[in-house]
Structure 1
Amino acid sequence: MSAPDTAILPDAAAGNWVDRHAPPALRPWLKLGRFDRPAGIWLLMLPGWQGIALAAAGQGQWPNPWLLVAFFVGAALMRAAGCAFNDIVDRDFDAQVTRTAMRPIPAGLISVKQAWAFLIGCCLVSFGILVCLGWLAIGLGVASLVLVAAYPFMKRITWWPQAWLGLTFNWGALLGYAAAAHRLDWSAALLYASGLFWTLGYDTIYAIQDIEDDALAGVKSSTRRLGPHVQKGVLAFYIACFVLVIAAAWVGGLGPLFLPLAALVAVHLSRQAARVRIDDPAGALALFKSNAQVGFVLFLALAAGMWKPPGL
């Protein structure tokens, strides 16, 4: 068995870059920020990119590349900060769950005080990026901290913590739209609502990995609440997601090139819903990770919507 400081966490790829290339002293810190599992970075970043693309397409423009870079860096740092906060709050629960017991805090590799210092450092750098995005974006960024701070407690008080994660992870759609357009409108709100149901679907799939341990630890989840109806629930969430994103594109005045790529998103989501099985945790992890592709294709679809035939 691997030593704790080099152990590959169960939901990290065996060939991840942290375990292969990072210096041993840095590995616990990178794992605290989940840099060994980048899927979460993409899932936090992509709603922001989608908001930027939607705002730009409504003005007949391509997304601003500098905004895209800023949102990538900010998402990586804020995801790391959010994971550290989640691990601080959940350290006792994590110690009881097989998939999380070797995370740096419950494994004793990083102290709670050290984790707080890591969290604050990530937040300060992220704030430095935020202040360059305009007053509306600054206000939205600060407001998002309420959602982030409340999330770890949701699994204690509701069967639907995945819905709260949807509110949190997709806040970037509003932030990206505000940074690009310096305003908010109904198309941004519809995109945000679409993302909420997208996250509700993919995180319900993700929680299949922990369903037995969560039951033993008393942790609530949409997966446990749906039980044998998980597949139907995921399908319903994804249908709502797609209907709302079509509405966002319509209200935003996007051109027809949005539709072919949006159709690919619909196919991908429907295939996920068809393949999810409550007794297949390995398959659930693979389906969850594939949502980075879904989000990127949706970003491309929104960006392509900037083109309109002459006369429209």
Structure 2
Amino acid sequence: MTKLNHYFHFARDEWRQLEVSKDQILTAAELEQIRGLNDRISLDDISEIYLPLIKLIAIQYHEAIFIHEEKMEYLKKKEQRAPFIIALSGSVAVGKSTTARVFKLMLDRWFSKTRQVELVTTDGFLYPNHELLKRGLMNKKGFPESYDKARFSEFLINLKTNKNKVEIPLYSHFTYDVLPETRTIRNPDIVIIEGINVLQVDSAENVFPSDFFDFSVYVDAAEENIKKWYLERFFILRETAFQDVNSYFHQYTKVSKEEAGRFALEIWDTINGVNLKENIEKTKYRANLILYKGRNHLVSDVYLRK
């Protein structure tokens, strides 16, 4: 594709040949703990895809530290470098959350926990349901207009200006709403920010989230595969988390499997699929690296910006 001309392309077999220490491999038990519901990520993926990627990110991190120290020495300033921010984007159901958790665990291990690594999801920066209802946006949850962009920008500015304590809003997929409580992070070295919206831009805004990122990754796959994974996950949740009477989607355990399936398909066709085509997919060429997944949910190709 012409749009990929400014990327190096690595087929899986080529990418896995990159030199990397083999003592960073996760155990099967650790991988099982962080794996998404229907994500088929394997230990082979860890050693063949993520290990070379984590080493690349570590190289980028050390280079950023070196440049900062050289600049501070030249300017005769003494200021700590702001956190190294990794953005992770992609569609609903493509496996971003699992990838983000893999990044967190492997970076902790790579740096032998000498660096504080934090994981933040942008779901908490959605407007609460009552505000979405007020704005008529409940059926556009996840679209750019459903996020509190001012709050997200403030969060990024606080990170990059080395604010000692940074508050992060939290979100519950169980209640399908932003939670009243927040989480505080203090002086992190590396922050992974995962969300469908992290690479999006708004011409009406003066500040773009990508202005703050040091490295960005987009998890990609064919739409028909993502749709299939979304439907598979819905039915798994229908038999598990949705069974709780307090779950936002509990009502879909009380109807037939066919009726629940029609609802899930409608959600994809009118919300998630539309958001993918109109907003999310358009941002992938802004990423430094693209992980492309085949129909088996395993990464088949890696594209790295030149």
TM-score normalised by the chain length of structure 2: 0.29
Higher strand share goes to which structure? 2
Higher helix share goes to which structure? 1
TM-score normalised by the chain length of structure 1: 0.28
